[in-house]
């Protein structure tokens, strides 16, 4: 059994699935209005920005990540705290990042692990209209699907495989 990356982070009887690159790609393809939430760990920023560009997924930069993106010449669609975007995602009436309607898929990457766990928990309990994927370091059982626990090298491969699976279509 895959354990949470921070091993005591066991929420309860219902745990999310361990993602494969194919299952992540399928969920992204299936989503009508996905949103990509990029946090402060900054481990795979270039990959995430590239994914957003290729798949036309709006970006929310949490913490001070918008500043880092601007240094790279990228302007995020929105910049707000991790808890603020989570709070908006909880509300069915919110119009989404682009005003096109509430999102149906939230992809978290690089939000501080334990804080992301809490944000995913909030969505798990209070946002039944939204699916969640975590591509942050280590397994997050509160996400609908989340990475297994991988070394940095393996994680790079995993992320590349997601892009490969997306391109297959």
Single out the residue of 106, 51, 49 nearest to residue 82, CA to CA.
Answer: 106
Query: Is 97 one of the binding residues for another protein (CB under 8 A)?
Result: no
Instruction: At 110, list the tokens.
Output: 């690089």
Rank residues 92 and 164 by Cβ distance to another protein and give the closer one: 92
Cα separations (Å) of 55 from 18, 115, 128, 168? 23, 26, 24, 13
Query: Is 81 one of the binding residues for another protein (CB under 8 A)?
Result: yes
Instruction: At 124, list the tokens.
Output: 């798990």
Query: Do 114 and 41 meet the contact criterion of CB atoms below 8 Å apart?
Result: no
Rank residues 20 and 40 by Cβ distance to another protein and give the closer one: 40
Here's the x/- map for another protein, 37-66, by CB under 8 A: it reads as --xx---------------------xxx-x
Query: Is 17 one of the binding residues for another protein (CB under 8 A)?
Result: no
Instruction: At 89, list the tokens.
Output: 């995602």
Interface residues toward another protein, by CB under 8 A: 5-7, 11-14, 39-40, 62-64, 66-67, 70-71, 78-79, 81-84, 86-88, 91, 93-94, 111-115, 118-119, 121-122, 124-126, 128, 137-138, 149
């Amino acid at each position: 059994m895959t354990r949470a990356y921070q091993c005591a982070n066991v929420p309860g009887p219902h745990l999310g699935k361990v993602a494969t690159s194919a299952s992540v790609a399928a969920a992204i393809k299936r989503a009508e209005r996905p949103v990509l939430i990029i946090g402060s760990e900054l481990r795979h920023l270039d990959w995430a920005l590239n994914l957003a560009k290729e798949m036309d997924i709006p970006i929310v930069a949490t913490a001070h990540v918008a500043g880092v993106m601007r240094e790279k010449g990228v302007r995020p669609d929105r910049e707000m705290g991790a808890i603020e975007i989570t709070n908006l995602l909880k509300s069915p009436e919110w119009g989404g990042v682009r005003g096109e309607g509430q999102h149906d898929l939230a992809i978290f990457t690089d939000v501080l692990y334990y804080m992301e766990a809490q944000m995913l928990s909030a969505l798990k309990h209070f946002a039944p209209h939204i699916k969640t994927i975590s591509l942050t370091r280590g397994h997050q059982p509160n996400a609908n699907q989340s990475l297994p626990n991988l070394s940095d090298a393996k994680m790079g491969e995993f992320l590349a495989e997601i892009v490969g699976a997306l391109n297959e279509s």
